Structures are given as C-alpha cells and as structure tokens.
Homo-oligomer: A and B are copies of this chain.
Amino acid sequence: MYTDFKPAKDRPAYIQVKDYMKRLITTGALQADQKLPSTRELSASLHVSRNTVLSAYADLEEEGYIYPLKGKGHFVVPTAGGLEQGRNGKDGSRAFKTDWSSRMSEFALTAERYDLMKHGIRAERGVISFTSIAPDEKLFDLQNVKRAFLDRMAIEGNVLLNYGYAKGYKPLIDYLKQYMENKGVDMKGKDILITNGFTEGFGIVLSSLKPVHGRILCENPTHHTAIKNMKMHGFIPTGIEMDPDGINLRELRRALSEGAFDMAYLVPSYHNPTGIVMSHDKRLDAIRLLNEYRVPIIEDGFNEELRYSGSHVAPLIACAGRGDGVVYLGSFSKILFPGLRVGWIVADEELIGYLESVKRAKTIHTSTLDQSLLYQYLHNGNFEKYLKRAKAEYKRKYELAIRCCEKWLPARRLSGDGGLHLFAEFDPPFRTRELLAACAERGVVFTPGDIFYVDGGGQHTMRLGFSRVSDDNIERGIRVIGETAKQLL
C-alpha cells in the first residue's frame, strides 16, 4: 500500500494526499473502522511533509471520512463506502444491469439517429475538410475578450457569479434591443429572451407551440439541426424548394392551400446550406402569404452579419413591422465565439412571457459570465472591429472558393451569396456520397447535401464550408473534388 501515490506538480499536495486516502477508503482498501497510519508513517510512505499529511487528515476528518479516537489515532468512517463495503455487498444487487436502449424515448432515439457527430463525416488529421462552418479561431482577439471579462468582473463580479434571471442579463438585453432596432425591428410590443445559442431557442419555441397539425413549413434543403429538432418534437417538416432568390413562392402558396401548418421555419439570409439571401420583395410577399394563412414564422438569423457585398436586407421581423407573427432567433456563434453559448429570441411580449417560463424550467438561465462578457465586448466596440477583420478574411476565402469552384467543379449550379459555405448541385443521377468516398481516399472531405433535405432528395448536392480551410487547401481541395467528379461523371 501507499506505493502508487503519484502527485501532480501544479495542485496543492495536501489535496492530493486527501483524495488518495479517500480513494483507499471508498474502494475498501481501508475498511470500516480500520486504523489509518500515523501522520508520521504516512508522510514517510508518501514522501511528503508531515504538515501535508496533517492538513489532509484534518480535511478528511472535517469532511466526515475519518474519525479520531483520543490517543489512538484516526479511523475509517463506516458509511463512506458503497455496497461493496456495506452489509449488502454480497447479494446480487450490485450486478444490477439495465437494458437502457429499450428504455429510450422516441425523442432520444431521434436525437441519436440524426446525430452528425456520431454518424456524420469524420475528418482524420491531415485531411482537407470542408465540413465545418464554425469560425476560424485564429481570428479571435483574446486580448479584448480578457479585457471585457476583467472590466465586467470589476464592475459586478459577485453578481455575475450568483443566480441570474431566466430572461437574461439586463445590459445584454438592452444592447440587443438597440441592435435589433438598428436592423429596423419595431420593438414596441416585443421583447427579448436570452438562450443558450440558437439551438436552445429553437427547442424552446418547438416545445412551446402546440402541435395542432404536426407540420412545419421550411425551405428544402434546410439546416440539419433544425430538421433534427423538428422531428424530435414530433413535427413533420414540409420542404419548399429554393429559387436563386429564396423560397419558391408558388410552391409555398400551393402547400398552404393544400394543408395546415403550425409554423414556418425560414432562414432568409445566407441560408444553410444553399447560402442564398432571400430578396427584399420576396420577404414582404412571404410574410403577407404566411400571415394570410395565420402561420407564425420562425426566422433563423444565424448568419446575417456575414454579408460581403450587395445591399443590407432587413430581416423578416423588421419587414413585418408591428405585426407579431415573426419569432426571430439570433446568434453571434457563427461570427463571434461559439464557445460562449449565447443566442436570443425576439418576439411578441406575451409569447416571450411563456417562453421565459419554459427557459427557466429547462435551464434556469444562460451563463451570466458568457452573457456579461459578450455584453462588455460588444459595448466596448470590439465587435465592430472584429467583424471588419473577420469579414475581410472570410470574404477573401469566399471569393477564392467561388473562383476555384467555377474553375474546377463540373456543377450545374453553385450558390452562396455570402457566409461561410457554398452549395453545389450536380446533374442527377450524380451522387455526391460516391464522390465523397472517392475524395476521402484522396484526403478531401465535404458534407453531402442529402442530410439537409427533408424528403430524401439532394443526393446530387454538396456543401463546402471554407471558414477553417487555408487558402492553399481551398485551392487544392476543390481541385481534387473537381477532378474526382469529372472522373466519376
């Protein structure tokens, strides 16, 4: 005993001795009411100072793992051990085995089935991967993040570390109200709820709206995580095809006249996966049409800031004016820091009241640290500076990726008006899954487009995320994809 103690250098020694002894106690190596070695003996065995052992024993006693007997030393508390050490140790209960998969709900099974991290494309080291649309972390300005943290801690550190409000951190809410007003949103009668990113926001909305018809309208293709969550919540997504300027209105009208829907989920700017920006006129028409059929719109504004050219187009919720039929889900994850899980919902204040209760029931509130750091970073004006730098970088990659696609890719259609990815369609029956298999052998992977389709289609499509690929690799990778595609054609 005591020969396997291997302390780490950067952690207090007494804590490591204490933890080591706890392990001996709870695993039964030291048994109920057994005497511990004296502090002198243990310090010799573990090669630590006697003071270290004294501190460790004091803590163990204080935490109720050992008890002292006057003049006799320290002994093991009998209740610290588990079944193995308890009086039931020898019966069969410790071998109790559960068939967990047979107990899983449809909700969990769907989450697992659509889990891209488990069943998606894995990129080995050294492979050129176009699968990610996460920001490039080399662009992050850590200095200003640190400053924002220290600024905010100095102002109200104690408050930040205690419970916050389900609705969100007040200064951030106020900032976002202005931010949305600057985008043209009429905030009168509307309110904001902070969420753990877009995904929680969407889940809150999906679980809060009654599935009367059980159907949701959406663009086809659309955001994979959105499809997953709609299905998990028991909704069937009905996909409407995309034109180069956004959702096909004729198809939308036909679907509305033929069936009833609980809501419409739309990604009007830098749509995932097609990268298309819905035109301003189309936005107004789509709102009018969905209003007519009393179908609320869930607007995903995830990528809105990543415009490299052309005019600013007001989000749907701005286009709707005083109307309360649009629920806007915002996020800075794709442009700022995804590690900070902060998103927000803008909607009618009565609706936000309900969603606030659901948010509280689900996760109490979003990390106040994340919210306050983000607020201070925004307030300090760092977002503006960062956005310029990041956009310059992404724009260069975007234009390079387009040039390379036009040069190498035998695609019938290439789309992407901005953002961090492009979308390519080949002539059917070309299958991008086969292309992917062939490219993967040559060290290049991308996302096959079929995962974004709600109807099993899209087998001739692909998404190319370029945000985390170097210029050299964008050229090399797209050339490989293009050459391989030509061989397969």
Residues of B within 8 A of A23 (CB): 181-182
**Residue A340 at the B interface, CB < 8 A?**
yes
**Residue A406 at the B interface, CB < 8 A?**
no
**Residue A11 at the B interface, CB < 8 A?**
yes
Give per-residue flags for A87-108: 1 if the beta carbon is below 8 A from chain B beta carbons, else 0: 1110101111110110111111
Which 10 pairs across A and B sit closest by C-beta, in order of nearness? A26-B184, A64-B312, A96-B323, A94-B321, A79-B280, A108-B208, A83-B321, A161-B337, A339-B368, A12-B381
**Residue A239 at the B interface, CB < 8 A?**
no
List 16 A-B pairs, Cβ < 8 Å: A77-B311, A78-B311, A80-B311, A82-B184, A82-B186, A84-B321, A88-B284, A93-B288, A100-B354, A112-B357, A135-B162, A200-B362, A200-B363, A203-B363, A340-B368, A341-B364
* Partner among B105, B145, B321, B373 whose Cβ is within 8 Å of the Cβ of A208: B105
**Given A105-B209, A294-B98, A314-B80, A354 and B199 contact (CB-CB distance below 8 Å):** no
Give complex CA distance A100, B349 in Å.
Answer: 10
Query: Is the pair B100, A350 in contact by a Cβ cutoff of 8 Å?
Result: yes
Query: Is the pair B354, A384 in contact by a Cβ cutoff of 8 Å?
Result: no
* Partner among B161, B294, B350 whose Cβ is within 8 Å of the Cβ of A101: B350
* Chain B residue with Cβ nearest A342: B367
- Interface residues in A136-190 by Cβ distance below 8 A to B read 137-138, 140, 142, 145-146, 149-150, 153, 157-164, 166, 178, 181-186
Name A's B-contacting residues (CB within 8 A).
10-12, 15, 19, 22-23, 25-27, 59, 62-65, 67, 77-84, 86-89, 91, 93-98, 100-101, 103-109, 111-112, 114-115, 117-118, 134-135, 137-138, 140, 142, 145-146, 149-150, 153, 157-164, 166, 178, 181-186, 196-197, 199-200, 203, 207-212, 225, 228-229, 232, 262, 279-281, 284-285, 287-288, 291-292, 294, 296, 307, 310-314, 318-325, 337-341, 348, 350-351, 353-355, 357-358, 360-370, 373, 379-381, 384, 388
* Partner among B146, B208, B311, B338 whose Cβ is within 8 Å of the Cβ of A163: B338
Give complex CA distance A321, B104 in Å.
Answer: 23
Residues of B within 8 A of A211 (CB): 105
**Given A207-B105, A311-B64, A361-B114, A96 and B320 contact (CB-CB distance below 8 Å):** yes
Residues of B within 8 A of A361 (CB): 111, 114-115, 199, 203, 225, 228-229, 232
Query: Is the pair A364, B78 in contact by a Cβ cutoff of 8 Å?
Result: no
How many copies of this chain does one complex carry? 2
Query: Is the pair B111, A360 in contact by a Cβ cutoff of 8 Å?
Result: yes
Residues of B within 8 A of A360 (CB): 111, 115, 117
* Partner among B324, B353, B355 whose Cβ is within 8 Å of the Cβ of A96: B324
Query: Is the pair A357, B11 in contact by a Cβ cutoff of 8 Å?
Result: no
**Smallest CB–CB gap between A217 and chain B, Å?**
16
* Chain B residue with Cβ nearest A212: B103
Query: Is the pair A11, B311 in contact by a Cβ cutoff of 8 Å?
Result: no
* Partner among B91, B196, B232, B281 whose Cβ is within 8 Å of the Cβ of A363: B196
**Smallest CB–CB gap between A322 and chain B, Å?**
5
* Partner among B15, B321, B357 whose Cβ is within 8 Å of the Cβ of A111: B357
**Given A79-B314, A210-B104, A361-B115, A157 and B145 contact (CB-CB distance below 8 Å):** yes
Query: Is the pair A307, B64 in contact by a Cβ cutoff of 8 Å?
Result: yes
Residues of B within 8 A of A287 (CB): 83, 88, 93
Give complex CA distance A138, B358 in Å.
Answer: 30
Residues of B within 8 A of A27 (CB): 184
Query: Is the pair A321, B82 in contact by a Cβ cutoff of 8 Å?
Result: yes
* Chain B residue with Cβ nearest A102: B210
Give complex CA distance A284, B27 in Å.
Answer: 16
Query: Is the pair B370, A367 in contact by a Cβ cutoff of 8 Å?
Result: yes
* Partner among B26, B137, B285, B381 whose Cβ is within 8 Å of the Cβ of A162: B137
* Partner among B86, B140, B182 whose Cβ is within 8 Å of the Cβ of A22: B182
* Partner among B146, B228, B354, B363 whose Cβ is within 8 Å of the Cβ of A150: B146
Residues of B within 8 A of A381 (CB): 11-12, 15
**Smallest CB–CB gap between A216 and chain B, Å?**
13
